[in-house]
Structure 1
Amino acid sequence: MEATQIKKDIRKFSLDELKTWFVENGEKPFRAKQVYEWLWKHAAQSFTEMNNVSLALREKLDQNFAINIVTVANHQRSNDGTIKSAFKLYDANIVEGVLIPHDERMTACVSSQVGCSLTCKFCATGYMERKRNLDAAEIYDQVVRISEQSQKNYGVPLTNIVYMGMGEPLLNYANVVKSVERITAPDGLNMAARRITISTAGIAKMIKKLADDGVKANLALSLHAANDVKRNEIMPINESNSLDALAEALTYYHQITGRKVTYEYIVFENFNDSLQDAEELLRFTRIIPCKVNLIEYNPIAAALFRNTDDDHLSKFVHYLADRGVQVNVRRSRGKDIDAACGQLATKEKQLA
């Protein structure tokens, strides 16, 4: 018996590669550009949607290729309007993404991996196994689906995208960068790169590569401690990417790009919320121009951390601000549906 042919994912092909295939299969090369725009600019979910392409060509495409779309398996809406979605991938894996409405912004928080390998002690995703990387189209589709939710529920388009969902973006570098290119391209979603932020737990050599490759998205570092002993305790990645190594990489990044970096810092009770911790963070902010987001901790069942109290937080904020640091306090959104920062973790029931 002849083995069943597995169709190739058409969105893994570049425009030039598609043109080559079209010519080899007796089609005009300009047809490849039409199909490419249907895939990326119009986010077509099937070949039948491509109504300026002949039926014969659509059938030929369907015989040879697949469009491995991402669908919303289910979603939850928070009391504050945040919407968390469980996205089902073509192979039945699940990742989560979040629409965060806030004042004048509509932000999509997207995942880059199924699970995560970094085992950060305060993050629910860190307690999951990393199953695989997402490809660029799967990241792109999350943005499209969340944008549809924004339009449907709020009547406005997305304004911002943050790569702060499940997984470490810089350990899926090629696909993350390609997704940024497709999201910002005129024949893609045409979003401004300055509205996109890639967040990393700190992969020093890949921070340098972002600079070398001229990736236009903003960079955020999940810092959470400016002391190697404490950071090693909660973020094992620090053992191979120490604060000194990160400082050197960030200096290089700023020299090449000229851009500020954002430091994300969860303030844990009796762990990193003292004025000594604030002084250590202050010294780290002197390395390059930056801003600091102090983040409310969002409890997870697997960890015993607690959020610092308002008095400690206020003193921490004033210590930094009084010394010239641009500091913001980020309050959690979507905590009641486990959609807040550090709470994303797929449940088995979502696979049903």
Structure 2
Amino acid sequence: MDLTGLLGPSRPLPMRVRPVGGESTGSFVRRLGRANGLDLASFLARVGQGQASQDPEQVEKYPQYTEMMVNAAGRTYLSVLSGLDVGLLQRALPSLADDRLLPGTGPAVWQWPWEAESGHLVPWCALCGHRRRVGERVWLMSADSWRLCGRHLRWTDDSRSTDPEAVSVAALSECVAAHRDRLRLQRRFKSAGEELFADAFQVMYQWWAFAPDTLVWVQRAWTAGLEARSARAVPLVVFPEAVKLAWLMLRFEQAGLRTPQDRGRWLVLVQRQADVWDIDFAAGKNALLQWLERHSRPAAAGDSAVGTGRRQLVLAERHNRIAVRAGSLQQRSCMPSL
């Protein structure tokens, strides 16, 4: 009688695998199992009682569609099998955070839902993998549906496409510069900077929807080797303008002047920038007006920013009621999704 599922593993597997920061639990488990000559079904037999075990071959075949979820006992089992401290696994694998665990204090349980509930499965940059001597494809659990590797200038997303799996942005200098500017916005203004980028990104999505044939966006998609009107291309082609718009939104918030005249002057400023960007201002005006309406009143007296040290920027009152400080760009924005 095999008591592994009841008593749990007592020692690590012979071959160790180091997790990648942000990796999905399912991705890590596959790599650990393969390193030890175990298919997914054999590995899962050592983890506990679970759901979806009736079809482990499909789970193993389509890692881009599903994530592994465990309860506290299951996390402990993974710690033992991997030979890694629970705390290290929690820091590296987002789905093992305390608030992501399955409920229950009994025997180890795992589930493998076909839609990742807490983010997007995005491929890790293969060149980063080569640099770290990781030969297998690694899937990251990302809050957003895309990632840009600043080291290797590669854009990956959750489109699940392998044609191409990663998009080079080396020829898109404006995207490279935008990536650096976004990081600077995050470093200087913390959550407020990221929320303003989220707002700007949602505005640019609406802008693109009204003017998808804008020449600069079409050319950017073609340069990246993507179809201009494909859903996969949209985040990449509007990325530079979204970052620039976020800085303009920051300027509005910092000024603290919100009368109709102040909002009108800010719109004129954005219109001038749209002319510089060579995109049609009229196509984005309604989205900009909506953003201004949601930022028409300053933060309430009781609102406070997260963080320590110097005073952090606190965004407008209505924005703070709608947006959240964690999750996807859509969740961190006060703007509606398309």
Q: Does TM-score exceed 0.5, indicating one fold?
A: no
Scaled by the length of structure 2, the TM-score of the pair is 0.33
More strand by share: 1
More helix by share: 2
Which of these two proteins has the greater Rg computed from alpha carbons?
Answer: 2
